[in-house]
Amino acid sequence: MHFHLPTITSLLLVSHVSAWVTDMDDKPFIDPYYDKDGGLRLEAALRANLPEKPYSSSHWSSGWLPDICRDIASDWNHNLWDIDAINVTYTDCSTPWVLCRHKAHPRSEQELLGLISRIPVRLRQSIATFIALPHSFSRNGDESGAAGTAGSFTTVWDDYWQVQVLLHEIGHSVDSGVMLAQLPKPNNNFDLSLSDPFQAYILQDKALNSNTHSMVEGFADLVVLAVYDLHVNPPVGYKFNPSWRDIRHAMEGIHYYGRLAGDVFRNSGRCNSWKAAAHTPVRI
Ligand SMILES: *[C@@H]1O[C@H](CO)[C@@H](O)[C@H](O)[C@H]1NC(C)=O
């Protein structure tokens, strides 16, 4: 899936973009795309099959933010006093997540906390802090895109708060985190998606699952499809696409590493000791 606006990946990822494998450049993109309707079908199906979970929330004292929210909000030229930090505890984990929401964000706090709850817990646990900003311009004039992720935080702008966007972004986090950690040590990879063992699956396929030659972006889209595959109309899942056979090895690979990393795509169970550590509170 692509989101029709550039998805900002992390600065860490930018240095990986040149690491394409030549054979991948020759592969066509799956036709039809999974998001040929702009992702509407995927989003509606994911929402219908990943229900909201109950939660309790509490606002931080004014004047305090997680360090990452301070840094990202100031990078994007926001007044730090316009950002609310909220602890949210879902029924599937005893420790909270944090949402930093700009007061002018178009979606309500309740709506955002509900949306985050739909993400399977062992995927959600790779992110400690979610950041919701309105459309913005950075200090050096860059215009905000849809979303960006580095390590254990993700920033989503404007109305890009969708289940599929969160899954895609968390896909970047697990690619460089818990899923990469399943490879034998030592390895020189920054991301599972750029490793030989993972690419060995994709090399067997006729097509790429997405409409990008970036292995990192294609992987994040595979994470969306893997969650879809397990929860939407199983056992048909991703096979709703008439060309599904063209990417079946990629799907086999993502499910294999998803299971190894603790069955992360399954929307059940509880968080575990791999939950990302909270960002440090700082006075603004
Ligand atoms: C938020 O959660 C942290 C634990 O992660 C806790 O130390 C802090 O007191 C909580 N703050 C509020 C306002 O609930």
* pLDDT tens digits, 28-47: 999 999 987 778 889 999 99
Name the residue with the closest Cα to ligand 1, atom 11: 60
Axis-axis angle for helices 40-49, 215-231 (nearest 10): 50
Note the pLDDT of residue 4: 34
Is the shortest distance between the CB of 281 and ligand 1 below 6 Å? Answer: no
Spacing, Cα 54 to ligand 1 middle (Å)? 18
Euclidean distance between CA atoms 99 and 158, whole angstroms:
15
Please give the pLDDT value at position 272: 96
Cβ of 87 below 6 Å from ligand 1: yes
Find the largest Cα–Cα distance for the chain: 54
Q: Tell me the one-letter amino acid at 191.
A: D
Start-to-end C-alpha separation, the chain: 38
Domain ranges in the chain are 19-49+179-261, 52-161
The CB of 96 under 6 Å from ligand 1? The reply is yes
> So what's the pLDDT on residue 11?
37
> Candidates 87, 94, 98, 280: which one to mutate for ligand 1, based on the most atoms within 8 Å of Cβ?
87
pLDDT at 234: 92
State which residues of the chain have pLDDT below 70. Answer: 1-22
Which residue has the least CA distance to atom 14 on ligand 1?
A: 58
For the chain, the 3-state helix, strand and coil shares in percent, each to the nearest 5, are 40, 15, 45
CB distance 119 to 130 below 8 Å: no
d(CA 192, CA 197): 8
- The pLDDT value recorded for residue 21 is 52
pLDDT for position 14: 39
pTM higher than the cut 0.85: yes
Check pocket membership of 58 for ligand 1, CB cut-off 6 A. Answer: yes
- C-alpha torsion sign, points 168, 172, 177, 182: positive
